[in-house]
């Protein structure tokens, strides 16, 4: 029988999956836009995907811009990369852009909805210039695709 392929050891530092305001309301909040899965469901799916990819993951959510800045600052030392859905702060926050630039980590920006199909104020992302890539409109699958992309970037 062929030997089972060795699982890659986890990247030395965990990846941070960071969620901004109102994402704690997933499942209840405008399900026609954001779907019926809860943030706990997203966390579970991210942990399973990260495990499959040989990544460790930290999962966080805050409704407060300063807390998100603190988590990104801490990530500079603690984390190997960042998956970020900054929620509405995407469209307003120079502070998050500055924090992501200062972190000097590969970051993937995720949105559940296709922000380009929605109101014009959602078409502008302040944080995209600090992201390696952006995934929008694919629902919770976007988080898993972002983890896949980070795994490839970190393996380089």
* C-alpha dist (Å) from residue 26 to 97, 104, 134: 24, 29, 20
Binding mask 97-116 for ligand DQA (x = CB under 6 A): --------------xxx-x-
**Beta-bridge partner residues of 15:** 57, 81
Q: Rounded to an integer, what distance in angstroms lies between the CA atom of residue 7 and that of residue 54? A: 7
Active-site pick, 34, 89, 126, 143? 34
According to the binding rule CB under 6 A, does residue 122 interact with ligand DQA? yes
* C-alpha dist (Å) from residue 125 to 33, 60, 85, 132: 19, 21, 11, 13
Name the minimum Å distance from CB 9 to ligand DQA. 32
Binding mask 19-58 for ligand DQA (x = CB under 6 A): ---x------------------------------------
Name the minimum Å distance from CB 47 to ligand DQA. 19
């Amino acid at each position: 029988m062929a030997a089972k392929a060795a699982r890659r050891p986890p990247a030395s530092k965990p990846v941070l999956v960071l969620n901004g305001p109102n994402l704690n309301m997933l499942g209840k909040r405008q399900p026609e836009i954001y779907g019926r899965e809860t943030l706990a469901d997203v966390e579970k799916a991210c942990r399973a995907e990260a495990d499959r990819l040989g990544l460790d993951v930290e999962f966080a959510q805050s409704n407060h811009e300063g807390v998100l800045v603190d988590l990104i600052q801490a990530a500079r030392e603690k984390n190997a990369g960042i998956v970020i859905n900054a929620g509405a702060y995407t469209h307003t926050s120079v502070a998050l852009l500055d924090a992501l630039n200062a972190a000097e980590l590969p970051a993937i920006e995720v949105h559940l909805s296709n922000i380009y199909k929605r109101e014009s104020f959602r078409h502008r992302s302040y944080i995209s210039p600090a992201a390696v890539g952006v995934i929008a409109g694919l629902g919770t699958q976007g988080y898993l695709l972002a983890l896949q992309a980070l795994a490839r970037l970190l393996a380089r």
